A = this chain, B = another copy of it.
């Protein structure tokens, strides 16, 4: 797969992107969202603001880009030997991740960004993990729901409650969601 004709992906461009992303992550750790600005990020990254504006357009798009990177699944989900416990382990971990203060910020940045690409990518990453778990269950011969069902009955309620309901959902509540899905098989 060759890069698109006429766009440069390596060398200086790659270094600038890396430096800017690093600068954003650094600054997110030490300052609040409302204190961030393109000139501030650019200074930390050692580039000029116009470079950032030309590549990302706005601060919001840049933050969404960084957030998307952060959401990318790194490792395959833990294999605990059974569908029930695999899903519960994943659900607990996912809840913890997005209900944390930085996690909420990332999702917020994704939703706030212009296109729908970024939000959809976030869901795609989730489904990659869910499918890995379901595939293992299939190999073991366990009965299992499909990925869309898990999305509707587990991922969706978790995300919804974190963002729209007062108070923080507990890990126990997340596990109950799994019990209910599996009970309906």
- For A135-163 the 0/1 string (1 means CB < 8 A from B) is 00000000000000001110111011101
Asked if A120 and B164 sit within 8 Å, CB to CB, the answer is: yes
- Neighbouring B residues of A157 by C-beta, 8 Å: 151-153, 156-157
**Chain A interface main SS type:** helix
How far is it, in angstroms, between the C-alpha of A114 and the C-alpha of B33 when the chains are bound? 9
How far is it, in angstroms, between the C-alpha of A163 and the C-alpha of B159 when the chains are bound? 11
Does A165 count as interface, using CB distance less than 8 angstroms? yes
Chain B residue with Cβ nearest A165: B123
- Neighbouring B residues of A151 by C-beta, 8 Å: 157, 160-161, 165
Task: Give min CB distance, A108 to chain B, whole Å.
Answer: 6
